[in-house]
Amino acid sequence: QAVEHQLKICGVKRNVDVSVLYLAGQGLRSIPSLSQFHRLRYLWINNNKIQDLTFLIKNYCLTELYLNNNELTDISGALKHLCALQILLLHNNQLKKLDKTVKELKGMISLQTLNLFHNPLAQDPDYRLYVIYFLPSVQLLDRKSVTQGERESALHLYNRERSCVVQSIAFGKRVNTPLGTAVGSSRCTQPARRLMMPSGYEFGNHTNKIPFENSEDAVLLRAMTRSLMEFSSVDWNKVATCRERRLENKVEEPREKLTVQFR
């Protein structure tokens, strides 16, 4: 009845024309399936007593979903198909399992705004960093913008090896072993160690894998395989113009060309 009442208020006669549905604050405990509204994009169900979300099983076009202030205890299997969601408000519910809740939202690659505060799961000491790491698309979490520092802290906490490699490359960490030089004493000279990329761990195809136990080995290999670049310059002030060559019978001096090569 609540759905029909809203459709009458909006003057909508065809289900295909329904893109907005406002059912907030009506004391609803359950809602019939909304699968007939294939183009539904904005849905307000906040401030009710909803405990089950099975009525959303086929609303793939939803971009904004307001479920705050209900009695939800678990959302497993109810929202993962909503890949177009950009705004999801779930605060003031009874969600307890942080890992299960975040797992349900992982497929939402467009999700930018998420509220989970005032749920039991938000009491976890690493709650915010956990959400930031496993839901990287979120820009606004619990009404607070996600900072770059928080992203770095989350990466360090949940993927320490990758964090070390990223930091060493991004901030120019010095590698102690010179490229192409000998390692060892003058009495017993050994060739510099040659690092080989393990099979299946090439940089281009497997950027998420960390093949080296020591992060500096990855930095060294990257430096050794980097393309050679060359820059050349000429001091054009010392080069005679066409007019000067015609008016002055001087032997033109050879041009000085400065070339610099580096990796």
* pLDDT score at 16: 75
Percentage of the chain beyond pLDDT 70 is 65
Identify the band that residue 141 occupies on the pLDDT scale cut at 50, 70 and 90.
very high
* pLDDT score at 234: 73
The domain segmentation of the chain, as residue ranges, is 2-158, 229-262
Condensed to tens digits (0 to 9), the pLDDT of residues 172-199 reads 444 444 433 333 333 343 444 444 545 5
Condensed to tens digits (0 to 9), the pLDDT of residues 4-30 reads 666 666 656 677 778 888 889 989 998
* pLDDT score at 211: 55
Could you tell me if 169 and 145 are in contact, meaning their C-beta atoms sit under 8 angstroms apart?
no
* pLDDT score at 180: 39
Selected residue with higher pLDDT from 34 and 208: 34
* pLDDT score at 194: 46
* pLDDT score at 227: 59
Average pLDDT over residues 156-166: 75
Condensed to tens digits (0 to 9), the pLDDT of residues 64-112 reads 999 999 999 999 999 999 999 999 999 999 999 999 999 999 999 999 9
Residue with tokens 């019939």: 32
* pLDDT score at 261: 67
**Lowest-pLDDT choice from 57-66, 149-158, 163-172, 178-187:** 178-187
CATH domain 2-158 topology:
3.80.10
* pLDDT score at 203: 45
* pLDDT score at 171: 44
DSSP letters of the chain? -HHHHHHHHHT---GGG--EEE-TTS--S-----TT-TT--EEE--SS-----GGGTT-TT--EEE--SS--S--TTTSTT-TT--EEE--SS----HHHHHHHHTT-TT--EEE--SSGGGGSTTHHHHHHHH-TT-SEETTEEPPHHHHHHHHHHH-HHHHHHHHHHHTTPPPSS-TT--BS-SSS-BPPP---PPTT--TTT-TT----SSHHHHHHHHHHTSPPEEEEEE-GGGSPPHHHHHH---PPPPPPEEEEEE-
Is the pLDDT at 41 greater than 90? The verdict is: yes
For the chain, what is the mean pLDDT?
77
**Rounded Cα distance, 38 and 131, in Å:** 30
